Amino acid sequence: MKKYIGTFLKLLLASFVISVALLFLLAFFLYKFRLSDDIVTAAIIIIYVISNFLAGFMAGKVAKQQKYLWGLGIGTAYFIVLCLVSFLVRQSFAGLGQDFLMTMFLCLGSGMLGGMVS
C-alpha cells in the first residue's frame, strides 16, 4: 500500500512538473508572438489534457490492472490540487465559475484515457 501511495504522489508531482514546463513554454510564446486570449485559453486547456494524459498513462503502466481507475485517480488529484491552489491565490472559490465543470471533466477524462491507453 505504501508503495502505491508513494508512486501515486510521484506521478502527481510529475504531472505538475509537465504542466509547469508547458506553461513556461506558453509564456515564452506569449512573450514572443503576442498571442490572443483565445489562443492562450486553448493552450492552457491543452496543457491540462496533456499533463493528465501522460500522468494517467504512467499510472496505468505502473498499476498494470484497473489502469483506468489509476488514471482517473491521478486526474482527480490533479484537479483537487488545482482547485486548492486557485483558492489559496484568490482567497475565494468565486474565480472557478463556469469553467469549473469543464476543467474537472478534462482533468478526470484525460487522466482516465491515459490510464486506459497504457
Q: Exposed, middle or buried: residue 53 (CB in 10 Å: 0-12, 13-18, 19+)?
A: buried
Please name which of 60, 56, 95 lies closest in space to residue 78, comparing C-alpha atoms. Answer: 56
DSSP 97: T
Please name which of 66, 109, 78 lies closest in space to residue 8, comparing C-alpha atoms. Answer: 78
The CA distance from 69 to 42, in Å, is 27
Question: Which of the two residues, 94 and 70, has the higher pLDDT score?
Answer: 70
Assign 98 a pLDDT band (cuts: 50, 70, 90).
Answer: low
Assign 87 a pLDDT band (cuts: 50, 70, 90).
Answer: confident
Structure confidence by residue, pLDDT tens digits, 47-83: 999 999 999 999 999 988 999 999 999 999 999 999 8
The CA distance from 77 to 37, in Å, is 27
